[in-house]
């Protein structure tokens, strides 16, 4: 082996790193955060780095409480993650996500065991901001001030912080820390050939608008049901479908029943091999977010829906970064409470469909190509930031 070859091999060995990912959910759990970190971890392994995934074995779609208490469940999860992180042999970089809340604080504590390790925080949501926005923590309370102080310390201790959009980066900047910005990328859609009929395919005359995914406390749903009620009062052939689950599902069903809706349907999460087919079986897709959570989180489903060439509706803060992505794509935005405007827009879409004026969506093959391109760009960018953190 020549001198230059020996030097190159030695340089590669010196650059090889051991990287620990810390999050409540890790692959093969179906949680969006587990999927994202798993794809970045695979890219880092492809580059020759050693990756360790530390989770707590939680089930994203399983129980949300421990002995009836979500806070207790999260506290136990943090302790379990800390114990597992400190038992890992020394690493070069620790990457924390944001489930459960304050897991980044655990990552900072775990770094004491991994002397000299760089710290990267990939913020999927902001705590305590999202808890305050949803009324789970009182603004200005001791808990609010304590957790904000802890998280501020983490942000300032990090070698790299990644935010999901400019709104989130602005909130983090208030702590005195600049962030990189990378929106989540959609899941891969390989193996979906569109050969099966879409789930609940309509008869060609009915117009279907679809909410797919988690329906949680951060999501707006009342405006959707109010708009559907207006359309049903007019006798419009429009169906509203909720596909998925979430903590707000029962409340939304009750409200739909109170409104006497006859054309509102509910179905379970679509399996990964039927997701794209179910989306393409709709005439319009929906993304919502309560305005008070602006910059606290990012609707992960939006990444895929923007690539489908189907009409898309955003219900939330009309000045937010996700709303800008929607309007830049030529789609419609409504604020919560603007049910009449939303119903009017849906009526126009239904009329266009009835007149045969709706352009056909892209096929699964083309969509798969778009997803691969967006995914590869996002995965490479995150992997680059993690690797560069060690060189700082």
pLDDT level of residue 44 (50, 70, 90 thresholds): very high
Is the pLDDT assigned to residue 194 strictly greater than 70?
A: no
Query: Would you call the peptide bond into 3 cis, given omega within 30 degrees of 0 as the criterion?
Result: no
pLDDT of residue 310: 94
The residue to which tokens 């421990």 are assigned: 66
Q: What is the DSSP string of 190-204?
A: TT--S-SPPTT---S
pLDDT in tens, 81-90: 999 999 999 9
Q: In terms of C-beta density within 10 A (0-12 exposed, 13-18 middle, 19 or more buried), how is residue 27 classed?
A: middle
pLDDT of residue 198: 47
pLDDT of residue 211: 98
Q: 123: closest CA among 71, 80, 77, 182?
A: 182
Domains and CATH numbers, the chain: 15-185+372-391 (3.40.50.2000), 207-362 (3.40.50.2000)
pLDDT of residue 32: 85
No. of H helices and E strands in the chain? 14, 12
pLDDT of residue 275: 87
Show the beta-strand stretches assigned E in the chain. Answer: 18-22, 50-54, 93-96, 118-122, 160-163, 180-181, 207-214, 238-245, 264-267, 284-288, 312-315, 332-334
**pTM attached to this predicted model:** 0.88
pLDDT level of residue 49 (50, 70, 90 thresholds): very high
pLDDT in tens, 326-338: 999 999 999 999 9
pLDDT of residue 210: 98
Helix residue spans in 139-200 (DSSP H): 142-157, 166-173
Tell me the range of 6-15, 37-46, 51-60, 300-309 where mean pLDDT is highest.
37-46
Q: 331: closest CA among 207, 209, 185, 182?
A: 209
pLDDT in tens, 265-276: 999 988 878 888
pLDDT in tens, 109-148: 999 999 889 999 999 999 999 999 999 999 999 999 999 9
pLDDT in tens, 23-36: 999 998 888 899 99
* 8 Å CB contact between 154 and 115: no
Is the pLDDT assigned to residue 231 strictly greater than 70?
A: yes
pLDDT in tens, 366-385: 888 999 999 999 999 999 99
pLDDT level of residue 191 (50, 70, 90 thresholds): very low
The structure tokens listed for 367 are 């969509």
Q: What is the DSSP string of 271-318?
A: PTTTHHHHHHTSSEEEEE--GGGTTTB--TTHHHHTTS-S-EEEES-T
Average pLDDT for 335-348: 98
């Amino acid at each position: 082996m020549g001198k230059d070859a020996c030097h190159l091999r030695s340089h590669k060995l010196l650059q090889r790193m051991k990287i620990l990912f810390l999050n409540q959910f890790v692959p093969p759990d179906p949680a969006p955060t587990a999927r994202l970190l798993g794809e970045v971890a695979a890219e880092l392994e492809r580059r020759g780095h050693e990756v360790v995934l530390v989770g707590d074995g939680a089930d994203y779609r399983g129980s949300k409480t421990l002995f009836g208490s979500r806070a207790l469940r999260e506290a136990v999860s943090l302790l379990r993650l800390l114990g597992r992180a400190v038992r890992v042999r020394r690493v070069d970089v620790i990457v924390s996500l944001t489930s459960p809340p304050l897991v980044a604080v655990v990552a900072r504590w775990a770094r004491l065991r991994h002397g000299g390790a760089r710290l990267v925080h990939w913020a999927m949501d902001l705590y305590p901001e999202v808890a305050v926005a949803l009324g789970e923590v009182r603004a200005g309370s001791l808990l609010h001030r304590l957790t904000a102080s802890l998280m501020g310390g983490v942000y300032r201790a990090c070698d790299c912080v990644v935010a999901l959009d400019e709104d989130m980066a602005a909130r983090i900047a208030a702590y005195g820390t600049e962030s990189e910005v990378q929106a989540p990328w959609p899941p891969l859609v390989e193996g979906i050939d569109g050969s099966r009929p879409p789930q609940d395919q309509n008869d060609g005359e009915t117009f279907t608008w679809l909410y797919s995914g988690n329906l949680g406390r951060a999501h707006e749903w009342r405006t959707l049901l109010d708009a559907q009620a207006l359309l049903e009062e007019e006798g419009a052939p429009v169906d509203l479908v909720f596909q998925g689950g979430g903590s707000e599902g029962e409340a939304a069903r009750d409200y739909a029943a109170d409104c006497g809706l006859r054309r509102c349907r509910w179905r379970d999460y679509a399996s990964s091999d039927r997701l794209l087919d179910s989306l393409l079986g709709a005439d319009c897709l929906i993304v919502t977010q309560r305005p008070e959570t602006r910059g606290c989180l990012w609707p992960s489903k939006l990444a895929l829906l923007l690539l489908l060439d189907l009409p898309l509706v955003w219900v939330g803060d009309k000045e937010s970064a996700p709303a800008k992505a929607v309007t830049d794509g030529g789609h419609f935005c409504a604020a919560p409470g603007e049910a009449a405007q939303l119903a009017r827009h849906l009526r126009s879409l239904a009329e266009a469909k009835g007149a045969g004026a709706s352009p056909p969506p892209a096929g699964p093959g083309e969509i798969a190509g778009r997803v691969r391109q967006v995914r590869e760009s996002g995965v490479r960018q995150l992997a680059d930031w993690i690797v560069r953190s060690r060189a700082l």
